Structure 1
Amino acid sequence: MTKYHYIRVSTAEQHTERQEVKTPEGYVQIIDKVSGRSTKRPELTNMLVNLSVGDEVLVDDISRLARSLKDLNELLHQITSKGVTVTFAKENLTFTGDKSNPTNELLLNLIGAMYQFEVDIKKERQREGIEIAKAKGVYKGRSTSMRQKADVIALLNDGVPQRKIAEQIGISLSSVQRIVKKHKEEAA
């Protein structure tokens, strides 16, 4: 039987110490530095593959496991269907896959829905803020990194079409065109 402490922060720049110090003795730390919106979390995926009957997973907070109610329910089912116990420390909820505690199921769905609602409200506020900033002419969007600019110019010099450059680097065609235009202006 293995005991896991699943720890997640949204970006590589954020720190995990606040969660790490809560790891009980005898637990293996599983640390992901990826957004909760992403289902591509390498350490979580690895843990899911290695889970077996009798294992335990400790998560500090429901929002550390998933941001959407759908993902939360799917992950919880995936884990508990293997005979693994999941405990959310902050919410003081434990799930075993046994449906004999409908109160826990209700609380999980309520808390999960509240987290999802919070994320949706933040997105709405961000969208409103961007619209206001655009109307004032102060919103410029996310700036292209120096690395991306260098990659665009290198690929352009290799004769790669602009549309292919955008696909390869993962930026919009208009960003590639803007970089190319600025590069030509600087070269002139």
Structure 2
Amino acid sequence: MLVGYARTSTLDQKAGLEGQERELREAGCERLFIEQVSSVDVRERHRLTEALDFVREGDTLVVTKLDRLARSVAHLMGILDTLTGKGAALRILSMDLDTSTPTGKLLLTMLGGVAEFERGIMLERQREGIAKAKAEGKYTGRKPTARAKSAEVLKLHGEGVGGTQIAKRLGIGRASVYRILDEAKAGAQTG
């Protein structure tokens, strides 16, 4: 069975999602898993997890493009290991690549390695640019928004408001709320 997976990063990319769905159906996919979520937060990609759970021996997971599936070589290799362990394959339409063949597996691994290398070079250039801008006094980084709201977090928490609600009310992340609360608690214990 051909199992399709389509993803866009934002809700604004409706046409892109419809295009992926159309390509997957034209390729013969009988079952589709579709989601709109960033590639960065793998834990939030529930439909990808469902697709990987769904595939069985002899199935092929089909995507239109590699960047719709994996965010890094390590992530790609993890997906490939999962599929291989189940006796399934991966097919990437834009590359005409199918991992059910030894050549397809080799090409995918090589392409993934090149992509990881390019990303590493880009990040290195970015770090160099930031260091240069800092040295010239042109870069200050982003202002910490959550820490500036510490007093409000502690006040709301003292009023019995939960962490999720505090985060929503103040427009900051839940993790930031709990970090502020933990730091306040640690400061109270040592002080």
Uncovered stretches (5+) of structure 2, i.e. residues with no partner: 159-165, 167-171, 184-191
Q: Is the 8 A contact 1:63 1:115 kept in 2?
A: no
- Distance in 1 between residues matched to 2:55 and 2:102, nearest whole Å: 25
Structure 1 66/55 Cα, relative in aligned 2: closer, same or farther at 3 Å?
same
Aligned residue in 1 for 2:176: 170
Q: Is the 8 A contact 2:11 2:36 kept in 1?
A: no
Alignment size in residue pairs: 162
Q: Is the 8 A contact 1:67 1:112 kept in 2?
A: no
Q: Once the 2 structures are TM-superposed, how far is the Cα of residue 169 of structure 1 from its aligned partner?
A: 3.7
Structure 1 44/159 Cα, relative in aligned 2: closer, same or farther at 3 Å?
closer
Q: Once the 2 structures are TM-superposed, how far is the Cα of residue 5 of structure 1 from its aligned partner?
A: 2.4
* Residues 60-118 of structure 1: per-residue CA shift (max 9 Å, x gap): 2223322332321221120232233321111111123xxxx332222111111111112
Aligned residue in 2 for 1:184: none
**Could you tell me the percent identity over the aligned residues?**
32
* Structure 2 residue 64 is the aligned partner of structure 1 residue 60: yes
* Structure 2 residue 80 is the aligned partner of structure 1 residue 76: yes
Structure 1 24/13 Cα, relative in aligned 2: closer, same or farther at 3 Å?
closer
Q: Once the 2 structures are TM-superposed, how far is the Cα of residue 13 of structure 1 from its aligned partner?
A: 6.3
SS class of match (1:28): strand
Structure 1 104/167 Cα, relative in aligned 2: closer, same or farther at 3 Å?
closer
* Structure 2 residue 120 is the aligned partner of structure 1 residue 124: no
- Distance in 2 between residues matched to 1:169 and 1:67, nearest whole Å: 23
Aligned residue in 2 for 1:7: 6
Structure 2 length-normalised TM: 0.66
Q: Is the 8 A contact 2:59 2:89 kept in 1?
A: yes
- Distance in 1 between residues matched to 2:157 and 2:33, nearest whole Å: 47
In structure 1, give the amino acid aligned to 2:117. F
Q: Is the 8 A contact 2:57 2:88 kept in 1?
A: yes
Aligned residue in 1 for 2:50: 46
Which one has a larger percent helix, Structure 1 or Structure 2? 2
SS class of match (2:4): strand
Structure 1 length-normalised TM: 0.67
- Distance in 1 between residues matched to 2:114 and 2:12, nearest whole Å: 23
Structure 1 144/71 Cα, relative in aligned 2: closer, same or farther at 3 Å?
same
Q: Is the 8 A contact 2:6 2:32 kept in 1?
A: no
- Aligned to 1:88, which of 89, 92, 96? 92
- Distance in 2 between residues matched to 1:135 and 1:59, nearest whole Å: 44
- Distance in 2 between residues matched to 1:13 and 1:144, nearest whole Å: 27
Q: Is the 8 A contact 2:55 2:88 kept in 1?
A: yes
- Distance in 1 between residues matched to 2:148 and 2:25, nearest whole Å: 46
Q: How do 1:86-165 and structure 2 match up within 5 A?
A: 86-96=90-100, 101-144=101-144, 148=146, 152-158=150-156
Q: Is the 8 A contact 1:32 1:43 kept in 2?
A: no
Q: Is the 8 A contact 1:4 1:27 kept in 2?
A: yes
Please report the RMSD computed on the Cα atoms of aligned residues, expressed in angstroms: 3.4
Structure 1 167/17 Cα, relative in aligned 2: closer, same or farther at 3 Å?
closer
